[in-house]
Structure 1
Amino acid sequence: MAREEQVSDRVLTVPNAISLARLALVPVFAVLIVQGQDVWALIVLAVSGASDWLDGLIARRFHQVSRLGQLLDPAADRLFILVTLIGLAWRDVVPLWLVVVLVSRDALLAALLPLLARHGYGPLPVHFAGKAGTFALLYAFPLLLLAERSGAVGTVASALGWAFAWWGIGLYWFAALLYFTQARSLLYPRQAHE
C-alpha cells in the first residue's frame, strides 16, 4: 500500500523555485512564438517540459510537496498551454477550434473553484488523466510547430503532433469529467450515491 504523501505549507522549496522559473518563461515563450523565433521557442518549450517533470520528481523524492507547489505547477502548465495555443493560432499553425475546445474546458473547471471554496473545499487534486492530457498537449505543440518545416521532418512532426493533440484533447476532457464527478460527490454527497 502506498504511503500517503505529506503536503507542507513551505514556500521556499526547490520544486517551487522551478515552477516559478517555468512561470517566468511563459512571457519569454510568447514573444518568441509571435516573432517567429521557432528554434528558441522550441528550446523554451523543451526546458519547460523537462522542468515540469523535474519539479514533480524532486517534490516527491525529497518530500518537498507543498500547497503552493500544488497551485504553481498546474498554473504554469495551464499558462503554457494557453500561450502556446494562442501563439500557434496567431501563426495559423493550429485551427481556432482547438483553442476553443481546450480553453473552454479550463474555463468550466475554473468556474467550479468559487463553488468549491464556498463549501470549504480547495482546488481538487490533479488526476493522472489530467496530467497525461497535459503531457500529451505539451508534446503536441512543439511537434505542430516543427510541422511547419517542409519535407519528411515536417510530415512526421505533423502526424505525431496531431496524434498527441487528439490524445491530449480526449484525456483533457476525460479528466474534466472526473473533476466534475469528484466535485459533485463533495458538494452533493447524497445525490452522488444514488
Structure 2
Amino acid sequence: MAGRPTNRTNTRQRIQDVALGLFVEHGYDKTSMREIAEGLGITKAALYYHFKAKEEILLSISQGLGAPVDELIAWARTRPRTLETKREVLRRYSEVLKDATPLFRIMQENQAALRALGIGQTLNDRVAAVAELMYEHGASVRTQVRLSDALVSVHFGAFSLHALAGDPEEKRLALLESALETLESVSAECR
C-alpha cells in the first residue's frame, strides 16, 4: 500500500528515538553505537545495517526535525508579509520547536564535536530564513528590532523554559502569547 511505513522505516525511527534519548542523557560524544544497539535490544550488526555511524543517525534526526521548518519557510515565502502571516509564522515555528528541543540541547552541549557535521550551519541558515520572513523592508531599525524580539522570544525561549516548573505546553503557549503581543505592539506602532 502506498504511504504506509515499512518495517525498515519503523526501525530507523526507533533507532533515531533511542539514539536521541541517549545523546540527551549521556551526551553525543559519550554515546557509542554499542549503547544504541543495546538500548534497542538489537545487535551492532543490525544497527549498522541502518546507520553506519552515530553521525549518520544525528544527521537523519536533524533532517527530520528540520523538514517542518523548511515547509514553514516555503509556505511563508508564498504569502504576503502581513501581520496575519507573521502571526502564523510565529505559531507554526513555536509548534515545530516543541519537537526539536532535544536536538538543540545536544547541539548546545556538543558544539565542537558537531561542527564538522554541518548541522549547526544548517540550523543557522534555517533561523536566518525564518527571521527574514518577519522583517519589513524599508521599516525603521526599531521596528526591525521589535520584530526580531518576537521571533527570538519563540526561538530561544523554547530552549530556556525547561528550567522553569510547569507544564511544557502551558509554558510554550505563554511564550507564544508574549511573542504575539510584541508583534501586535509593533503593528500598532506602524499604523
TM-score range normalised by the length of the shorter chain: 0.3 to 0.5
With normalisation by structure 1, the TM-score equals 0.39
